[in-house]
Homo-oligomer: A and B are copies of this chain.
Amino acid sequence: MSTAGRTTDRTTWDELMVARAYLASVIEPPAPALVRFIGRHGAQRAAELVRAGDTPEKVTEEVESRREHVSGEKALEQARESGARLIVPEQPEWPHERFSCFSDATEVGFADMAEPIALWARGTASLGEALERSVAIVGARAASGYGETLAAEFGYGLSDAGFTVASGAAYGIDGAAHRGALATGESTVAYLACGVDRDYPAGHSRLLRAVAERGLVVSEYAPGASPRRHRFLVRNRLIAASGQGAVVVEAGVRSGASNTASTADTLGRPVMAVPGPVTSASSVGCHMMIRSGKAMLVTRTEEVIEVISPIGEAPAVDAAGPARKSDGLDRYAKQLHDALTGSDGSSAEQLARDSGLSLRKVRSLLPALEMAGLATLGEDGWVKNSSNKPR
């Protein structure tokens, strides 16, 4: 980095922040060429070169239209005024572990998956710590009551199990997931497609305030930036990267949630989808993802944790209830058990005829049924025991 002539660390740090703020504002994310350029030169030198117009062609393409029109100082000033701060990769709170997927993806040709140059944030929580154990929960804006209830339950359950919920603060599933997470008193992270000083959507201003108090409201768009359609898609990669896996609670056929899901898949994150009634339009996207193998079907928090946990670390999931005593019997023992009656006693010969089993087989099986508590030899012969519940 070009630190020659700087007098104190403080000055250097401030200049780094100004440089990152400038670089983050000069492009419309994602900007893969500029990210690589910064990697080569460091943020401060890269900012100087961009300002001077001294950049390779691909970088020039990304920066030329705004390089003379934006200012890092002004962006930082505007952030301070709105109570926001800048998080940069040079800080320890940058979620390196989660965001390493971006360089992996760009290296194999997914240019749209470039790492953010910096992130603006409302809230004092550490982004890196929040995302240490985390799950992205996304879904339709036009969610059903069923979907919102489930999103809140997954949000609560995962938060309660120690996972930070990352989502997009939209109406419907996103909002319900954040609310569910907030109900545990733990942090949650909301990524916006506009400046963090703008309450978008407007009806979620209280929710966003609550998120910023406990966790973080984050954006790669500078304060003042307006939400635009394509920015939601670009923003989705941050949500996808921020979770160890992504859960889609409800999604229509064409939806932002499906986009986040495929982005998560591109970034190497397991994608999960919650099924719903096949008669519900808001579950169509989830069912399509499961059908095509893009998403795993999940129905409960425990199943999500099982998917995102390293093998052996999550408790095994077993949805089966208590068995009947007769469940463990083999075919012949079941056949014999069915031939017994609860009232009249039967001889072994009668049981053989009735069950179709050989007399030898019947004689060998009866003691086993008795041991299992399923048959008793009474005065009139063998009878079936009434209770078939496990002891």
Residues of chain A at the chain B interface (Cβ within 8 Å) = 27-28, 60-62, 64-66, 69, 112, 146, 150, 228-231, 233, 253-254, 274-279, 283-284, 287-288, 290-291, 296-300, 303, 319-321, 323, 326-327, 331, 334-335, 337-339, 352-353, 355-359, 361-362
Q: How far is the CA of A231 from the CA of B276 in the complex (A)?
A: 34
Task: Specify which of A69, A146, A228, A303 lies most central, judged by the most chain B CB atoms within 10 Å of its CB.
Answer: A228
Q: Could you give 20 example pairs across A and B, Cβ below 8 Å?
A: A27-B356, A62-B358, A65-B352, A66-B353, A69-B353, A146-B277, A150-B278, A229-B326, A229-B337, A230-B331, A230-B337, A231-B338, A253-B320, A275-B275, A275-B276, A275-B278, A275-B290, A284-B319, A287-B297, A290-B290
In the docked arrangement, what's the CA distance between A116 and B310, Å?
Answer: 48
- A66 to B134 Cα, complex, angstroms: 65
Cα–Cα, bound, A300→B66 (Å)? 51
Closest CB-CB distance, A164 to chain B, in whole Å? 23
Assembly CA distance A296 to B65 (angstroms): 50
Contact B275 A297 (CB under 8 A): yes
Chain B residue contacts of A65, Cβ below 8 A: 352-353, 355-359, 362
Please state if B321 and A228 are interface contacts (CB–CB under 8 Å): no
Q: B27, B112, B321: which contacts A254 (Cβ < 8 A)?
A: B321
Interface centre among A228, A276, A278 (most CB of B within 10 A): A278
Contacts A277-B277, A287-B275; A230 near B334 (Cβ below 8 A):
yes
Residues of B contacting A288 in the complex (Cβ-Cβ under 8 angstroms):
319
A331 to B111, CA, bound (A): 11
* B287-A278 in contact (CB<8A): no
A131 to B104 alpha-carbon distance, docked (Å): 53
A339 to chain B, nearest CB (A): 7
Min CB–CB distance A329 → chain B (angstroms):
9
* A228 near B338: Cβ-Cβ < 8 Å: yes
Chain B residues whose CB sits within 8 angstroms of the CB of A290 once the complex forms: 275, 290, 297
Residues of B within 8 A of A334 (CB): 229-230, 233
Q: Give the residues in chain B near A337, CB-CB below 8 Å.
A: 229-230
Q: Is the CB of A361 within 8 A of B61?
A: yes
Find out whether the CB atom of B277 lies under 8 angstroms from the CB atom of A291: no
